[in-house]
Amino acid sequence: MEILIQAATEAREKAYAPYSRYKVGAALLGRSGKIYTGCNVENASYGATICAERAACVKAVSEGEKAFHMLAVVVDGDRPGSPCGICRQFLAEFGLDLRLILANVDGKRIECSLQDYLPGAFTPDNLNEGRDSIGLSTS
């Protein structure tokens, strides 16, 4: 766990946050044991901003990893940061059992699961249920 927090802390230093000045780093532990990092990258067109959590996940998926154990997120604030709504939904695609370690640079931490942060999530299973109900095969 400490190595994951350290990796997220180092990723945070690479953030591009000229507008909010709120730098975020993330480190995602794949089931393979590999760690994928990401940082937030802001954009003048705010909607084009990418969060650290999604950056790490996209990096992992682009390298072939689609199953994850744990995600550490590190911010510089009075309290640990929390994945935004779109990041929660994005991560839910890969499993609600994902363990979250939310931390700030002062060492405060919150440990929970993605399920805790996104109850009632819309997942791929919801789509399969809809297909089953109208007689479409999921294979």
**In this structure, what CATH number is given to the domain that contains residue 82?**
3.40.140.10
Give the pLDDT confidence of 59-109 residue by residue, as tens digits.
999 999 999 999 999 999 899 999 999 999 999 999 999 999 999 999 999
pLDDT at position 10: 98
Full residue range of the structural domain in which residue 19 is found: 2-133
- The one catalytic residue in 10, 13, 42, 53 is 53
Does the residue 19 lie in any domain?
yes
Does the residue 139 lie in any domain?
no
Token code pair at residue 23 = 């730098």
Beta-strand ranges (E) seen in the chain are 24-30, 35-39, 68-75, 99-104, 109-113
Percent of the chain at pLDDT above 90? 86
Q: What is the mean pLDDT of the chain?
A: 93
pTM of whole model > 0.75?
A: yes
Question: Could you give the CA distance from residue 16 to residue 78 in angstroms, rounded to a whole number?
Answer: 20
**What is the total count of domains within the chain?**
1
Does the residue 138 lie in any domain?
no
pLDDT at 132 over 80: no
Q: Tell me whether residue 53 is one of the annotated catalytic residues.
A: yes
H/E run at residue 85: helix 85-92
Q: How many CA atoms lie within 13 A of 7 on its CB side?
A: 20
Do you know the residue count of the chain? Answer: 139
